[in-house]
Amino acid sequence: MFSSTNAITPAGYDRFRKYLQKVCGISLSENKQYLVASRLGKLLEREGFNRIEALVDTLEVGRNKALKEEVINAMTTNETLWFRDSHPFNILREKILPEMKDRPLKIWSAASSTGQEPYSISMVIEEFKASKPGVLRAGERIVATDICTNILQHAKQAEYDSLAIARGLGADMQRKYFDKVNDSTWRVKRNLSTRVEFKFLNLIEPFSTLGKFDVIFCRNVLIYFTAETKLDILRRMHSCLNPGGYLFLGGSEALSGLSSHFDIVQCHPGIVYKAK
């Protein structure tokens, strides 16, 4: 009988975590065999792999792109909600958007998951424009990227069930910014969704072709990378920011070793990093 736990041998697990780090930057600790077993067990059984070494052998040949994509999708964490942590969105509305008067605004939501973050940003922009008419007149664009292809497809649809809607979103915002599809599904209104463009992106690969941004949200993703990979990504993000542009990190993430690149802006509550 197939056992996903027995399929994850110590040597096989070590090979797999090195492969995963190489292709997408995710760094698994030495004691996460159970996580791999739970997320890849069905895939291993379906493909007839008795040991994870056989999966890695196939992946390293590089011919089965669909299998590689499925493995990355399975190993990617996609926990999110509307207006997560609240502080970054308050800082965006109260400090950053007023500075963007009479100039185009471009925001990057990195690791955007199922879309709650970029759509929350779009709602903040809409609320700001209603309260401060005439300030943002040059257009706004939000680029949302993720490595998980099936999650990106879900985000592009801009449709959410009642359970997902309830995670961080009040009834008044739901009525204001969503259209009801049926009894259990709601769709983000078109004036918000057309502002957002979703793209596939692996953060460990070059991303300078995305262009320059005024604001980057890169929250709750760098914790999955090694310190070296994290620093590399942050340096390249700095290069993607316009002078004086802003970077948001997750609540449990800190920017260290890059004091020559960013200033810390205390916003009480919350902080944001400003590109030098």
Whether residue 5 is predicted with pLDDT greater than 80 in this model: the reply is no
**Residues 112/146, Cβ–Cβ less than 8 Å:** yes
Q: How far apart are CA 276 and CA 260, in angstroms?
A: 7
Q: What integer is the mean pLDDT of 110-123?
A: 97
Q: What pLDDT score does 254 carry?
A: 83
What pLDDT digit, counting tens, does each position of 240-251 carry?
A: 999 999 999 998
Instruction: Residue 56: give the domain boundaries.
Output: 4-75
- In a domain, residue 180? The reply is yes
- In a domain, residue 101? The reply is yes
Query: 101 or 74, which is more confident?
Result: 74
**Residues 24/147, Cβ–Cβ less than 8 Å:** yes
Q: How far apart are CA 173 and CA 7, in angstroms?
A: 47
Domain count, the chain: 2
Q: Are residues 59 and 159 in the same domain?
A: no
- In a domain, residue 80? The reply is no
Whether residue 211 is predicted with pLDDT greater than 60 in this model: the reply is yes
Q: What's the CA dihedral at 54, 55, 58, 61 to 10 degrees?
A: -110
Q: How far apart are CA 115 and CA 105, in angstroms?
A: 19
Q: Are residues 247 and 112 in the same domain?
A: yes
Query: 51 or 108, which is more confident?
Result: 108
Q: Are residues 115 and 204 in the same domain?
A: yes
Q: Which CATH number fits the domain that encloses residue 214?
A: 3.40.50.150
Whether residue 30 is predicted with pLDDT greater than 50 in this model: the reply is yes
Q: Are residues 8 and 57 in the same domain?
A: yes
Q: What pLDDT score does 253 carry?
A: 87
Q: Are residues 159 and 184 in the same domain?
A: yes
Share above pLDDT 70 across residues of the chain, in percent, rounded to a whole number: 98
Q: Kindly report whether the global pTM for this prediction surpasses the value 0.75.
A: yes
Among 29, 50, 75, identify where a domain stops.
Answer: 75
Q: Are residues 106 and 238 in the same domain?
A: yes
57 — pLDDT class (breaks 50, 70, 90): very high
What pLDDT digit, counting tens, does each position of 130-155 carry?
A: 999 888 887 999 999 999 999 999 99
Q: How far apart are CA 232 and CA 198, in angstroms?
A: 23
Query: Residues 60, 66, 67, CA angle at the centre, nearest 5°?
Result: 50
Q: Are residues 143 and 33 in the same domain?
A: no
Nearest C-alpha neighbor of 272 from the set 212, 225, 215:
215
- In a domain, residue 82? The reply is no
- In a domain, residue 148? The reply is yes
- In a domain, residue 95? The reply is yes
What pLDDT digit, counting tens, does each position of 86-104 carry?
A: 999 999 999 999 999 888 9
3 — pLDDT class (breaks 50, 70, 90): low
- In a domain, residue 81? The reply is no
Other Cβ atoms less than 10 A from the Cβ of 83: the count is: 20
Whether residue 42 is predicted with pLDDT greater than 60 in this model: the reply is yes
Q: What pLDDT score does 134 carry?
A: 85
1 — pLDDT class (breaks 50, 70, 90): very low
Q: Are residues 171 and 202 in the same domain?
A: yes
Which sequence positions are flagged as catalytic? Answer: 39, 146
Q: Are residues 52 and 123 in the same domain?
A: no
Q: Which CATH number fits the domain that encloses residue 40?
A: 1.10.155
Q: What pLDDT score does 118 carry?
A: 98
Q: What pLDDT score does 256 carry?
A: 81
Q: Are residues 133 and 255 in the same domain?
A: yes
- In a domain, residue 270? The reply is yes
**Residues 258/238, Cβ–Cβ less than 8 Å:** yes
Among 21, 50, 75, identify where a domain stops.
Answer: 75
Q: Are residues 113 and 70 in the same domain?
A: no
Indicate the residue type of 193.
Answer: S
Q: Are residues 201 and 258 in the same domain?
A: yes
Output the average pLDDT for the chain.
92
Burial track 194-233 (b if 16+ CB lie within 10 A, e otherwise): ebbebeebebbeebeebeebbbbbbbbbbebbeeebbbeb
Among 53, 75, 97, identify where a domain stops.
Answer: 75
